[in-house]
Amino acid sequence: MHVEIALTADVNRVVGLVNDAYRGSSKKPGWTHETALITGYRTDVATVSAMLDRDDATVLVMKHENNVVACVALELLDNSDWYLSLLAVDPEYQKGGVGKEIMAGAERFAVERGALRIKISVINVREALLAWYERQGYVRTGAVEPFPYDDATVGTPLRSDLALVTLTKTLRPIG
């Protein structure tokens, strides 16, 4: 498997994959799910399609036998900072290193385009996920943003104590 840029033909599978991984929409969710925190869909066709149409955003995928098994989105914030989101691995492929592999591919992709740092946001109560990102070299910045309770595109929160913890990783430039 290798990391490649998502195509329009991949949009429906990316949406399904993200919703399965985060919310367990059509299959038993893996360890990264948020089913006790948020209900509803994590993303939709319009959102992912819009990302593919933007010049400052990219969706990357990994495929096994032409089936998308992992994805991640990158957004250029400025010349050297990028934002990573929508990291998802098919629950059937979790715990096999696929998450690490697509993260490494996303970081390479960003570095090849001048990135020096990647920023991510993780829900504050997701300690296992925060620890996983820290094992990948991401560091908590101390910044905590309010959870977007009024944004229906992220689902319906089941708790009132959610917030977004910011982490960053400094990347090594090429050369």
Supply the pTM of this predicted model. 0.91
pLDDT at 151: 87
Residue of 73, 84, 71, 72 whose CA lies nearest to 117 = 84
- Retrieve residue 57's tokens: 């955003």
Within 54-158, where are the H helices? 98-112, 127-135
Cα torsion for 7, 32, 38, 59, to the nearest 10°?
Answer: -20
pLDDT digits (tens, 9 = 90+) for 108-157: 999 999 999 999 999 999 999 999 999 999 999 999 999 999 988 888 99
Domains and CATH numbers, the chain: 3-170 (3.40.630.30)
- Retrieve residue 95's tokens: 């715990």
